Amino acid sequence: MAKPIVAIVGRPNVGKSTLFNKLIGERRSIVEDTPGVTRDRIYAEAEWGEHKFVIIDTGGIEPKSDDTILKQMRTQAEIAVSSADVIIFMCDIRMGLVADDRDIAIMLKKSGKPVILVVNKADSIGAVPLEFYEFYELGFEREPIALSSLHGTGTGDLLDAIVEECDFSNEDKSDEGVINVAVIGKPNAGKSSIINRICGEDRMIVSDIAGTTRDAVDTRVENEYGVFNFIDTAGIRRKSKVEDRIEKFSVLRANMAVERADVCLIMIDAGDGITEQDEKIAGISHEAGKAAIIIVNKWDTIEKDNNTVNEFNRKIKTALSYMPYAPILYVSAKTGQRISNIYPLIKSVYEESSRRITTGMLNDLLNDAMTRVQPPSDKGKRLKIYYMTQVSSNPPTFVIFCNSEELFHFSYRRYIENCLRDTFGFSGTPIKIIIRQKGEDNSSD
Ligand code: GDP
Ligand code: GDP
């Protein structure tokens, strides 16, 4: 089943992002190894012991806004309440307990969700300062935790508390062999229609995820291709009335759905062509490293000639140039055209993203690649590549050890990626390549 979601809430500047970064640790640097990643993540996976959960930094949702603090807080609290299983409420010991903290506490209590109150910036080692005790006044069930996000002290206690509050009873077990599919796209692209169409008579369970109040609705389907769990994000629109809210919520919902998914179906409305919003939504899938299929829906509404598909393909490839790996399928949820191609395609891209290549095969490929195109050199120094190994799948992630990260230009990385794709396929999935420098950088020709 889905990983529990933990949201960090609190006034600006209390240290939410600092804690977020601390908790997600190594993950961030791996994310940054993907070319073209610029957006700060507000959503990431964290681990403690054998448990995995997902953390949202609600402060990052709306970095710039003229809203009053309280209004921003209300939005954050709403998101946290609607989406999270556990809420981390952060205060600042240097500021002490302030009026806004009390207001937030009231909002959070109304949610009925478990709240872990953390008092941040308790940097000094030793006795907890007296100011800490005033936070008991907020009256949460759980004892507050003193924290220094900067130094990392107290984060162990916090992680223990998170694990205590989360329900991991469904973790992974019932999920084995199930392919999670997120259907993402702007409102009205046809997400619900396509889910209805492809789930049709195969549909077995239609329900909210057991035991949570999350908004995304999951639909489980079993057929000759496997067991699929579709995550619908369409509920968004009906939840809020204000226009800019819709945008914000839909992006966050899409983020959450994508994080839980193995494969993303990126729905594009053929009538509108590819829009900026589509680019943004597809970017979420790419940055999360998920296998993806681009589905151009409402193909029945388009007047076509010999060139229509080529023209569409070209536009999509240009707009989504960062994801050339994603196959494009032209369908109509209304007439059912090519809908039957979707399952085999999902299965295929999932298998591609799950593939493991042995180190032996990778190094044969590497030697071959280096013979054909010599590694770059600069100022008499040449890039030496020692070896390559696959460290994980979904997406396939490779580490290449070399003498100099600096010399490993983007173009050579791209070349190696192309060699990997030419040899092994990986159709439908992004590939991550991590470059690691090893040993002394003393190579000169
Ligand atoms: P956010 O707005 O709640 O996300 O807060 P940030 O994470 O951006 O932190 C605001 C400021 O507080 C930054 O200057 C941080 O370096 C600082 N800060 C965060 N955590 C701590 C801490 O544990 N101790 C101290 N002394 N400063 C911290
Ligand atoms: P969602 O917001 O992405 O879930 O979109 P919906 O599934 O609710 O569809 C939005 C509208 O587009 C509805 O009126 C659907 O009937 C219509 N629609 C969806 N798919 C198609 C299609 O393939 N062809 C046509 N002509 N209309 C479609």
d(CA 407, CA 429) in angstroms, rounded, equals 27
Report the relative pairing of strands 217-223 and 203-208 from DSSP bridges: antiparallel
DSSP 223-270: ETTEEEEEEE-TTHHHH--SHHHHHHHHHHHHHHHHHH-SEEEEEEET
Look at ligand 1, atom 7, and give the residue with the nearest C-alpha. 15
Look at ligand 2, atom 18, and give the residue with the nearest C-alpha. 190
Residue 17, ligand 1, Cβ within 6 A = yes
* Residue 193 Cα: closest atom of ligand 2: 7
What's 153's DSSP letter? B
Residue 120, ligand 1, Cβ within 6 A = yes
Determine the pLDDT at residue 204: 42
For a ligand 2 pocket test, name from 186, 188, 191, 193 the mutation site with the most ligand atoms within 8 angstroms of its C-beta.
193
Look at ligand 1, atom 17, and give the residue with the nearest C-alpha. 15
End-to-end Cα spacing for the chain:
54
Question: From ligand 2's centre to the CA of 339, what distance in Å?
Answer: 14
Q: Which two tokens stand for residue 292?
A: 């993806």
Question: From ligand 1's centre to the CA of 35, what distance in Å?
Answer: 28
Residue 153, ligand 1, Cβ within 6 A = no
Q: Are 168 and 257 in contact (CB under 8 A)?
A: no
The closest of 362, 439, 369 to 404, measured between CA atoms, is 439
> Would you write out the chain's pLDDT as a tens digit for each of its 445 residues?
467 888 898 888 898 888 988 888 744 433 333 333 333 456 677 888 888 888 887 765 543 455 565 665 566 666 666 678 899 999 999 999 998 899 889 888 887 889 999 999 999 877 778 889 999 999 999 999 999 998 889 999 999 999 999 876 655 555 668 899 999 888 888 888 888 888 775 444 333 333 333 344 577 888 889 989 888 664 334 333 444 444 555 566 677 788 889 999 999 999 999 998 899 889 989 988 999 999 999 999 999 999 999 999 999 999 999 999 999 999 999 999 999 999 999 999 999 999 999 999 999 999 999 999 999 988 889 999 999 999 989 999 999 999 998 999 999 999 999 999 999 999 999 999 999 988 755 544 4
Prediction pTM value: 0.67
Domains 5-165 and 178-353 share a fold: yes
CB atoms within 10 A of CB 369: 20
Residue 253, ligand 1, Cβ within 6 A = no
Residue 348, ligand 1, Cβ within 6 A = no
Using CB atoms within 10 A of its CB, is residue 421 exposed (0-12), middle (13-18) or buried (19+)? middle
Options 2.140.10.10, 1.10.260.40, 3.40.50.300, 3.40.630.30; CATH for 178-353 is 3.40.50.300
* Residues within 6 Å of ligand 2 by CB: 185, 187-193, 234, 297-298, 300-301, 332-334
CB atoms within 10 A of CB 336: 13
Boundaries of every domain in the chain: 5-165, 178-353, 359-437
50's CB contacts (< 8 A; 6+ apart) are: none
Residue 22, ligand 1, Cβ within 6 A = no
Q: In the Cβ-directed half-sphere of 314, how many Cα atoms lie within 13 Å?
A: 5
For 112, the 3-state DSSP assignment is: coil
Classify domain 359-437 at the CATH class level. alpha beta
Q: Which ligand is nearest to the CA of 151?
A: 1
Q: Which two tokens stand for residue 22?
A: 């601390």
123 phi and psi angles, rounded to 5 deg: -80, -30
Superfamily holding 5-165: P-loop containing nucleotide triphosphate hydrolases (3.40.50.300)
Instruction: Tell me the sheet residues that pair with 119.
Output: 91, 146
Q: Which two tokens stand for residue 214?
A: 């999350």
Q: Which ligand is nearest to the CA of 21?
A: 1
Residue located via tokens 């970095």: 63
What crossing angle do the helices spanning 342-354 and 191-199 adopt, rounded to 10°?
100
Determine the pLDDT at residue 31: 37
CB atoms within 10 A of CB 152: 14
Q: Are 338 and 331 in contact (CB under 8 A)?
A: yes
Question: From ligand 2's centre to the CA of 334, what distance in Å?
Answer: 8
Report the relative pairing of strands 51-57 and 145-146 from DSSP bridges: unpaired
Question: From ligand 2's centre to the CA of 302, what distance in Å?
Answer: 14
Alpha-carbon separation of residue 155 from 16, 87, 88, 93, 136 (angstroms): 13, 15, 12, 16, 19
For a ligand 1 pocket test, name from 149, 155, 158 the mutation site with the most ligand atoms within 8 angstroms of its C-beta.
149
Question: From ligand 2's centre to the CA of 306, what distance in Å?
Answer: 25
DSSP 126-194: SSPPGGGGGGGGG--SSPPEE-BTTTTBTHHHHHHHHHHHS--TTTTGGGTTEEEEEEEESTTSSHHHH
Instruction: Tell me the sheet residues that pair with 402.
Output: 385, 437
d(CA 299, CA 154) in angstroms, rounded, equals 55
Determine the pLDDT at residue 211: 32
Q: Which amino acid is at 433?
A: I
